[in-house]
Amino acid sequence: MSEQPAASRIQVEALAEGFKARAGQVAEQLGLPLTLADADFSLQVGEHGLQLQQLGPDAPGPVRVDFVEGGAAHRRLYGGGSGQMIAKAVGIAQGVRPRVLDATAGLGKDAFVLASLGCDMSLIERQPLIGALLEDGLARAAEDFDVAPIVARMKLLKGNSIDVMLNWQGEPPQVIYLDPMFPHREKTALVKKEMRLFRPLVGDDLDAPALLAAALALASHRVVVKRPRKAPCIEGPKPSHALDGKSSRYDIYPKKALKP
């Protein structure tokens, strides 16, 4: 996701008196005002942690990161385990749990699935506002008995995804996973409130070719790119093959076989 919000006015708001100090810390950390006339978005601090609320008459409900309940819990318990397409795409197999870098982490949903299957995950979310939601969700999940061991395998890195990959220190990730924001305008692509929220906030990933190039240079074993099912491949080297689902597909760029 692009670093600069697309002409959006954002304020930080405490939902109760007891959260004003925390709201002040968040506002200072992100360089955002506590009150803003005609704000488009409100980053709210309350009993459930951080949540982002779009303002206006047709705005969807708030978005926050929750790895303990809701969709994340359902998928963790009933999502199909290592038989899921994303698991096959990154190379999970008997005795194989690759080290994965999710360079477009967003709200961390895919990274959480892979961590729940045993992968050690590094995550980069370069949009600071979304990164703050993700960091808050990870901190709350670390306090849950069942989920803490999973999020312990999720390390959040800060910075521009391309810069972090180009300046990587230490052992490289075996697999790099990319899910760039696609400039897609069909109504079916906008049904999720997260997407309705992210579009005006972060725009599209117009540097996806550079993102792919950096990933291919760093990953030791393979790069996986998630795309809308009918979307073109990212400009650049072509994938060797793809795994197709109902609404999305995974383009696979192999470099070396993953072995137990």
- Point out the annotated binding site for S-adenosyl-L-methionine: 125-126, 179
Which amino acid, residue 254? P
Dihedral (Cα; 132, 151, 80, 255), 10-degree rounding:
80
Ramachandran region, residue 224 (left: φ > 0; alpha: ψ -120 to 50; beta: rest): beta
CB 100 within 8 A of CB 176: yes
Binding site, annotated residues: 125-126, 179
Instruction: Return the structure tokens found at 53.
Output: 């609320």
Please give the biggest Cα pair distance in the chain.
57
164 — phi, psi (to 5°)?
A: -60, -45
Give the C-alpha separation, 52 to 49, whole Å: 10
Helix, strand counts (H, E) of the chain = 9, 10
